[in-house]
Amino acid sequence: MNRKILAGVAIAVVGVVGVSAWLWSGNSSQKNDITLLGNVDIRQVSLAFQDSERIVEMRVEEGAKVTAGQVLAVLDTRTLELQAAQTEAQIEVNKKALLRLRNGSRPEEIGQAQARVDAATTDAKLAELDFQRMQSIAEETHGRGVSRQELDRAAATLKAARAKVEDQSMALRLAKLGPRSEDIEQAAAQLKASEESLALLRHRISLAELKAPTNAVVRSRLAEPGDMASPQKPVYALAIVQPKWIRAYVNEAQLARVRPGMSAEVKIDGLPDASIAGEVGYISSVAEFTPKPVQTEELRTSLVYEVRVLVKDPDDQLRLGMPATVRLVP
């Protein structure tokens, strides 16, 4: 009888010890966790046009979800389009000028230059014959048949005719050689400058469409159609919803237990029974005083380190500035 009682007591003690050990192990795992209080943080982008022009379209409203590359607003581009058309016409002019220089002189132009040389040569021969005839008369008549003035005029005419032959011969030589390489390079440079001007205008026309740089939510619509845009005046303010993170702070004792990539569970007051998975993405390497809004007056002088817990929020439950509780699991 006593043996049965002792056996029952022993079994009960073993059971209590087992249950106690199980409860202690569960509580110890809870004790190893780190609980932090923080706030949801989201990056924001202010979008403005690069040119100063009249806004003709504002395509999205506040609260709308936008995707990367989506056109949000449009400027008036009529002036730029006219300038682009003018530049295109100038490009065609420069192309023709460059083509003319590269092709060189046409056979007809060379033949025309040769004809001028032949005509100048004939005139020079006639002038030489006239001068020789007058010189012979002057010698035979001892200067009485031809005056000295007429002889000088004939000599000058001969000199001018010979100079014209030389000038036309040089023109023929240049026509055969064609344009200088420097002239061709200058024309090519002028064409390239016109093409670059057109590319710049096309780029400015493309910038007349204000596009979302990434997936985001429109926080503020800061202009309306008809307003004058400028680079200093934002048109939209966007909130980048992915990734979101919780900004929290750990003290020096907790810092040694926190590491990048550590798993985390995030809870918010509005959904106390649900949790959002996350992980530690950033740990500050510089200590700072506890921010005043986070802790009490007594703990304000304590040194803490910033921790950012990255979370995935496909259901868009988290809002900027929302308080959240973070549990880090070592």
Q: Are residues 193 and 264 in the same domain?
A: no
CATH number where 226 lies: 2.40.50.100
> Stretch 9-29: mean pLDDT, rounded?
37
How far apart are alpha carbons 49 and 316 in whole angstroms? Answer: 29
> Stretch 324-330: mean pLDDT, rounded?
85
The stretches of 70-106 forming alpha helices (DSSP H) are 78-103
Q: Which residue range is the domain that position 132 belongs to?
A: 83-203
Where are any strands of DSSP class E within 209-318?
A: 209-211, 216-221, 236-251, 263-268, 271-283, 288-289, 303-311
Query: Are residues 239 and 41 in contact, defined by beta-carbon separation less than 8 angstroms?
Result: no
Q: Are residues 247 and 309 in the same domain?
A: yes
Residue 21 — very low, low, confident or very high, per pLDDT cuts 50/70/90? very low
Count Cα atoms within 13 angstroms, Cβ side, for 228.
1
pTM: 0.60
Asked if residue 69 belongs to a domain, the reply is yes
CATH number where 295 lies: 2.40.30.170
Check residues 80 and 113 and name the one with the higher pLDDT.
80
The answer, yes or no, to whether residue 8 has pLDDT greater than 70, is no
User: Which helix (H) or strand (E) covers residue 323, if one does?
Assistant: strand 323-329
pLDDT of residue 302: 66
Residue 26 — very low, low, confident or very high, per pLDDT cuts 50/70/90? very low
Q: How many domains does the chain have?
A: 3
pLDDT of residue 16: 36
> Stretch 186-197: mean pLDDT, rounded?
94
User: Mean pLDDT over all residues of the chain?
Assistant: 81
pLDDT of residue 143: 62
Residue 16, CA distances (Å) to 45, 125, 238 in order? 60, 140, 59
Check residues 245 and 80 and name the one with the higher pLDDT.
80
pLDDT of residue 272: 78
The three-state secondary structure class of 200 is: helix
pLDDT of residue 313: 81
Q: Are residues 122 and 106 in the same domain?
A: yes
Q: Are residues 251 and 142 in the same domain?
A: no
Bridge partner list, 249: 306
Asked if residue 26 belongs to a domain, the reply is no
Asked if residue 127 belongs to a domain, the reply is yes
pLDDT in tens, 282-308: 888 777 765 555 545 455 456 788 888
Q: Are residues 225 and 264 in the same domain?
A: no
pLDDT of residue 196: 95
Query: Are residues 307 and 252 in contact, defined by beta-carbon separation less than 8 angstroms?
Result: no
The three-state secondary structure class of 221 is: strand
The answer, yes or no, to whether residue 190 has pLDDT greater than 90, is yes
The answer, yes or no, to whether residue 260 has pLDDT greater than 90, is no
pLDDT of residue 114: 83
The answer, yes or no, to whether residue 19 has pLDDT greater than 60, is no
pLDDT of residue 290: 57
pLDDT of residue 60: 95
Residue 185, CA distances (Å) to 24, 98, 102, 140, 208 in order? 88, 9, 10, 62, 35
CA 295 to chain centre: 43
